[in-house]
Amino acid sequence: MTYRSYNPVCPLLTFSPSDSRKMEGRNSPKKAFTHRHGPGMLLCLCAVLLLPGRIFAEREVRLDPEGEHLRPVKYGGVEISGRVPESLPEIYLLRPDLHTLKDLVQRLNAAAVDRSIDGVIVRMGRFGGGWGKAREVRNAISNIAGAGKETIVFLERAGNLEYYIASGADRVVMPPAGSLMLTGLRGEVMFLKGLLDKVGVKADFLQVGDYKGAADPFVDKSASEKFKDAAGLLFDSLFDQFAADIAEGRGLEPESVIELVDSGPYTTSGALRAGLIDDVKFHHELLKELREKEEAPFEYVSDYGREEITAIPLGEGTQRLMKILLGMRAELRREVFPEGNVIAIVNMVGPVVMERPETALLDDSVVDARLVVRILQELRDKPNVAAVVLRIESPGGDAQAADLIWEAVRETDRAVPVVTSISDVAGSGGYYIACAGRYVFASEGSMTGSIGVVGGKFVVKDLFDKLGINVEVFERGRHSGLFSPIETFSESQRERFRHLLENTYDTFLGRVADARGMSGEKLSAAAGGRPLTGIQALEMGLIDEAGGLHEAIAYARELAGIGEDEDITVISLPKPQSLLDAILTGRDIGVNYPPGLLERGRTALLPEMVEDGFRYLHAVSLMGDYRPATLMPAMIRIR
């Protein structure tokens, strides 16, 4: 027996026989109803009861042969589309309508243990992350299936990354007019020497590490053999994972997947014939199919587990302003720290710098060494902080800044366990920081390693000559012009600077050896500037285990000795602030430029490869005073 109880005329009102049973024992159902909802709602109910039964269309109530209510079959909906950041910008003008990777994975993990949820439908648009994040999302989807719940990915847009994630589900469904762009992995690196030559700029850089290629795009017109070798090994590892994981998810052999990739792209009908997807349907048709196949009533919870972004109460800003006027700014800075056991996630996203530069755009993310060191110090001083998780997504940067953070992490680990979780990338200076943790996790597809050092300058003497600019030099001291932008290094200057870089490299190796217990040939094999995937880093001993943020938090809990039945609070730092809050609390925001929206507007129409080139130049520019840097070799996007 089936009847429905959804009211489209007055959607705030849903009434069923169970409601009447709940109201038994009260003085009057009518009085109870009107007390809660007012007489207008009662009129609405009366009007609805006079309408034909066919208007009830959504929520079903079904009875078994004994007349008992059947428990609804409930599916949760999770939408993935666009950027999947590690954290919100440290300072923002307007609160972005973004949810982080942590939020997304938490929602999927919650569905796996939620007894009221029988399945999950992931509606997949463009995935705005890399291979490390993609693996974490794929694993979370697979875990739901492992819990005995059906997982369906509805692919609205399907490239390599999106299909890779979808292949971890029980079913893959696409709309009729879709296309599966399964074409193989490709990365493109811009070499800028030809452009620099044309405008009169010379890149005068030195590198330590045979495979350190951070300066190659500026000093060469094409990739060197060692650059090609390092990139080739990286691609081999990623592609092997790509083929093996899709094969495992779709019940195929890896060799068959490679053949299918070489035959792509596919129409939806072609993908269906090839066994790459399971069905061709619109989203509403998929929901209809699920509803009709179940004997019990079917419920679909769109945006399952998503927390809505809440606005700051209007009166709060006035209160804060009054406190400033009354000289109570220090009170505004104080925040209530959670009670009980706390695990703190310290997010480090962006190039590593000594402090946030004044030229940083408003929503640019950087790893501010002074801020990170201060946060770790404050966490050590909190008696209820049980463990710290470092979440790193950084291509590296200032070597001295990385070393300061390394030491702060080691000092923190002497107080409480520190576990590292590598996101899409933690290379060079990013790995410098990552290795300081007691235990290091990385996804199989993360990029890490690149243990090497680079340093140098851009010389603009020829550009000035073309522009008719003459620079007169007055100096005292043999090496006063070491970092002058109008002359290249002299032989003596080059020798002294190389000595600085080699000393920095030796320090870097020493930090890795100390943290990882590595030495000799094993350390040399892992170093030299080689970029590595997570799997390769695991084989070489640079990380301890393949896994994501979820696994890192769980292991931090274990190291802290917090039982499964004990409550914990997980917090993320640094806490994002609006520009207004930063000003009201007297924070030096270090921002002179307009918001990053302006910068994105300038590059939004450019190809991704060109945009990546600008990002890499920006990361190099943040080094500022030409100190030795630990940067990944070029900005390479693999799709």
pLDDT tens digits, one per residue of 347-374:
999 999 998 766 555 456 889 999 999 9
Structure tokens at 57: 């269309």
Query: Of 410, 437, 432, 405, nearest to 421 (Cα)?
Result: 437
Residue 123 burial (CB count, 10 A)? 19
Is the Cα torsion angle 536, 537, 540, 543 positive or negative in sign? negative
Which pLDDT score, from 0 to 100, does residue 35 have? 40
Whether 224 shows a pLDDT value over 70: the answer reads yes
End-to-end CA distance of the chain: 51
Which pLDDT score, from 0 to 100, does residue 323 have? 52
pLDDT band for position 12 (cuts 50, 70, 90): very low
Which pLDDT score, from 0 to 100, does residue 620 have? 58
Whether 577 shows a pLDDT value over 70: the answer reads no
Cis-peptide into 595, omega within 30 deg: no
**pLDDT > 70 fraction of the chain, expressed in percent and rounded:** 72
Beta bridge partners of 152: 121, 171
Cα gap 398→453, rounded to integer Å: 10
The residue among 190 and 87 whose pLDDT is bigger is 190
CA dihedral 574, 575, 576, 582 (to 10 degrees): -100
Number of helices followed by number of strands (H, E) in the chain: 25, 26
Range with the poorest average pLDDT among 50-64, 230-244, 511-525? 50-64
Cα gap 62→70, rounded to integer Å: 6
Cβ contact 533:544 at 8 Å: no
Which pLDDT score, from 0 to 100, does residue 88 have? 73
Which pLDDT score, from 0 to 100, does residue 358 have? 63
Mean pLDDT of 502-521: 93
Cβ contact 427:213 at 8 Å: no
Whether 595 shows a pLDDT value over 50: the answer reads no
Which pLDDT score, from 0 to 100, does residue 13 have? 36
Query: Of 178, 181, 182, nearest to 279 (Cα)?
Result: 178
Mean pLDDT of 436-464: 95
pLDDT tens digits, one per residue of 23-75:
333 333 333 333 434 444 443 433 333 333 333 334 555 555 555 567 889 99
Task: Say which DSSP state 224 is in.
Answer: -
Query: Is 39 buried (19+), middle (13-18) or exposed (0-12) by CB count in 10 A?
Result: exposed
Which pLDDT score, from 0 to 100, does residue 329 have? 44
Residue 74, classed as helix, strand or coil, is strand
Q: For each of the domains in the chain, give its residue range(s) and CATH number, in order of start.
A: 2-62 (no CATH), 73-183+264-301 (3.90.226.10), 336-471+479-574+594-631 (3.90.226.10)
Tell me if the pTM is above 0.85. Answer: no
Structure tokens at 484: 């002058």
pLDDT tens digits, one per residue of 306-343:
876 555 454 455 555 555 444 544 444 445 788 899 99
Which pLDDT score, from 0 to 100, does residue 590 have? 38
Q: What phi-psi label fits residue 551: left (phi over 0), alpha (psi between -120 and 50 degrees) or beta?
A: alpha
Mean pLDDT of 544-571: 95
The residue among 295 and 530 whose pLDDT is bigger is 530
pLDDT tens digits, one per residue of 607-617:
555 555 555 55
Element (H, E) at 286: helix 283-293
Which pLDDT score, from 0 to 100, does residue 56 have? 33
Cα gap 195→198, rounded to integer Å: 5
- Per DSSP, which regions of 428-487 are E strands? 439-442, 447-449, 453-459
